[in-house]
Structure 1
Amino acid sequence: MVTVAALAAVLAGCGGSDAGEGAGGDGAAPRVVATTTYAADFARAVGGDGVQVTQILRPGVDPHDYEPSPADLEALAEADLLIENGVGLESWLDDAISASGFHGTEIVMADRVTIRHHEDDGAEHDESDEHGDEDGDPHIWHDPRNAKVMATNIQIGLATVDPESAAEYQANLDSYSAELDELDRYTEQQINTIPSDRRKLVTNHDSFGYYVERYGLEFVGSIIPSFDTAAELSGRAIDDIVEKIRSSGTVAVFSESSLPPRTAQTIGSEAGVRVVAGEEALYADTLGPAGSAGATYLTAERHNTDTIVGALR
């Protein structure tokens, strides 16, 4: 497998030389497999019409616990470029790579992103490694500054497998980066309209840590006290989060689009606060289907911000 750092070195050495033909050696569009909905959306934004993107995870499907299909393995076997999130999000991916016989270029979007850890971790961490940092928070995309790093990593990968189109990929990246900067400004402006004593967030699971850190919210807690939705939910954890909601003065609990709202509704009822669910649910681990507010990363993050601000303000 080829890491982003190695790819960057390859690209630097290729500048101005005869780059040869596109992926496959016949000028064909590179065949890209993206694991998550976010990876696929970023790949389409950076690759434009010049890439074929096969998306493994469908909208609304939880990426933490997935069983690859034969079609997924076939797509991996034929891929020129594999784009994954990393930080342990796709725990099923290593087995799928081995089973498929994938031999293309692999890009980990989390490379060069500073990874969050639980406060009681007790260790210093700066970056994710190739696949792992499995105790880290994989929800890196909820800070648009991280999304810029992720998109840049994709551009490096695309330019490596299709050097003839490197300039086009760079132009697409520049345009998309400007949109991410605008999203970051918009989010900060909107969050700043919430009274400071109401900027308190409770979600289904611990998935908005990067968002909380970026925009100065207080993370009161989550219903599932883990980065992973598959973690076991105990009666004590439920009692703890109800008490935190009551004692902190939190005014809303936010459900997530890929998780059933039932437990959130129960906790909200016990704590006596509003539960944001249904079409207003936050896009946390997955984007939504075409035509929904979460169809793309840019629209999903705006939806999240507008929903949070509307409920807390």
Structure 2
Amino acid sequence: MTRLRYGVAAAALAVAGLLTGCSAEPAGNAAAASSEPVPVVATTPQVADFVRNIGGDDVTVTQIVKPGVDPHDYEPTPADMQAVAGAKLVVKNGVGLEKWLDRTISSAGYTGTVVDASANVALRPDDPHIWHNPLNAKIMVADIEKGLAAADPARTAVFAENLADYSAELDELDADNLAAYARIPADQRKLVTNHDAFGYYVDRYRLDFVGSVIPSMDTSAELSAKQLTDLVAKIRATGTKAVFTESSLPPKTAEAIAAQAGVKVVASLYGDSLGPAGSDGATYLTAERHNTATIAGALAG
């Protein structure tokens, strides 16, 4: 009987040892997996730049819309769908800017988390260009930080520290923008752009939006002959000094309107997109500083 009990006990210990040994390998694999960067798909250049700043070396970012490309009418590629399928997190701008995203996610079979960076932003009606107010950008990166922390809780402290650092840079950007426009008389702060992409910027810095070459927040709209004539008349009547083109849109119509109105053309703002590496618009911060320097310089001159 004693030998039987000993045999049972020994067998139980052996099984326990096997179970412990089996569980040790997955734990090691989990630790190794957690050291890998989080694969993130970001829709637009601005959103991708935010993710890179908050995630740092702890994320790998696949950016769908490339610099200088209009996001309104973008057509996803098979490579985009493959990236979405392999992502742990998808981050979008929201407010209908990425009309193509839902079908891309469906085609890719992605069932993970989608972070809508616009979720807590106070929105203008149907206006997706929320990032042009740096205070909105602070809200967007805070939402992104929460999404990254949920995707990789072990790195929560790192993401939080990155968020604090980048938020301070956004505060500095906003303060510099306010100072730039404080030097320009209110009656000279008149803005005409390619399309209506700067509503949040106009509201934040108290500019007077005279009109846009494309009479819409969506670049697919077209200017009628009457609207063109009316815009030229309005530019003349208000004493507007310039028409500003945008990096992701053809400048020809803007140039024609400026010529008819007898004002200068100023190229070019980063409206819907950022610029390529090495340009003034390579990052969100440099693009917004470029926009302010360009607009304020032209209005002051």
When normalised by structure 1's length, the TM-score is 0.85
The structure carrying a bigger helix percent of its residues is: 2
Give the structure 1 partner of residue 33 of structure 2.
26
1:85 aligns with 2:93: yes
Question: What amino acid is the match of 1:34?
Answer: A
Question: What amino acid is the match of 1:114?
Answer: A
1:295 to 282, 295, 299: 282
CA distance in 1, matches of 2:115, 2:33: 22
1:270 to 238, 253, 260: 260
Asked if the contact 2:37/2:57 (under 8 Å) is kept, the reply is no
Question: What amino acid is the match of 2:243?
Answer: V
Report the 3-state secondary structure (helix = DSSP H, G, I; strand = E; otherwise coil) of the residue aligned with 1:141.
Answer: helix
1:191 to 164, 173, 181: 181
Question: What amino acid is the match of 1:185?
Answer: A
- Cα RMSD of the aligned pairs, angstroms, is 1.6
Query: Structure 1 pair 50/273, CA: closer, same or farther in 2 (3 Å)?
Result: same
CA distance in 2, matches of 1:301, 1:29: 29
Query: Structure 1 pair 22/254, CA: closer, same or farther in 2 (3 Å)?
Result: farther
**The structure with more radius of gyration:** 2
1:230 aligns with 2:220: yes
Question: What amino acid is the match of 2:96?
Answer: G
Give the structure 2 partner of residue 242 of structure 1.
232
CA distance in 2, matches of 1:244, 1:21: 68
User: RCO (CA 8 Å, sep 6+): is it higher in 1 or 2?
Assistant: 1
Report the 3-state secondary structure (helix = DSSP H, G, I; strand = E; otherwise coil) of the residue aligned with 1:53.
Answer: strand
Give the structure 1 partner of residue 123 of structure 2.
115
Give the structure 2 partner of residue 16 of structure 1.
none
Please list every run of 5 or more consecutive structure 1 residues that lacks an aligned counterpart in the other structure: 1-19, 118-135
Give 1:30 deviation, angstroms: 1.0
CA distance in 2, matches of 1:167, 1:174: 11
Map 1:27-46 → 2, pairs under 5 A: 27=34, 28-46=36-54
CA distance in 2, matches of 1:201, 1:50: 40
1:164 to 137, 154, 173: 154
Give 1:25 deviation, angstroms: 8.5
1:308 aligns with 2:295: yes
Asked if the contact 2:242/2:298 (under 8 Å) is kept, the reply is yes
Residues 73-117 of structure 1: CA distance to partner in whole angstroms, max 9, x if unpaired?
000001100000010100111111111111111000100101112
When normalised by structure 2's length, the TM-score is 0.88
Give the structure 2 partner of residue 253 of structure 1.
243
CA distance in 2, matches of 1:177, 1:230: 34
Question: What amino acid is the match of 1:50?
Answer: D
Give the structure 2 partner of residue 9 of structure 1.
none
1:173 aligns with 2:170: no
1:104 to 91, 95, 112: 112
Map 1:147-158 → 2, pairs under 5 A: 147-158=137-148
Give 1:233 deviation, angstroms: 2.2
Give the structure 2 partner of residue 17 of structure 1.
none
Report the 3-state secondary structure (helix = DSSP H, G, I; strand = E; otherwise coil) of the residue aligned with 2:211.
Answer: strand
CA distance in 2, matches of 1:33, 1:283: 22
Moved more, 192-201 or 204-213: 192-201
Query: Structure 1 pair 97/22, CA: closer, same or farther in 2 (3 Å)?
Result: farther
Give the structure 2 partner of residue 65 of structure 1.
73
CA distance in 2, matches of 1:84, 1:25: 29
The aligned length equals 273
Question: What amino acid is the match of 2:138?
Answer: K
Asked if the contact 1:21/1:163 (under 8 Å) is kept, the reply is no
1:284 aligns with 2:274: no
Give 1:193 deviation, angstroms: 1.2
Percent pairwise identity: 60
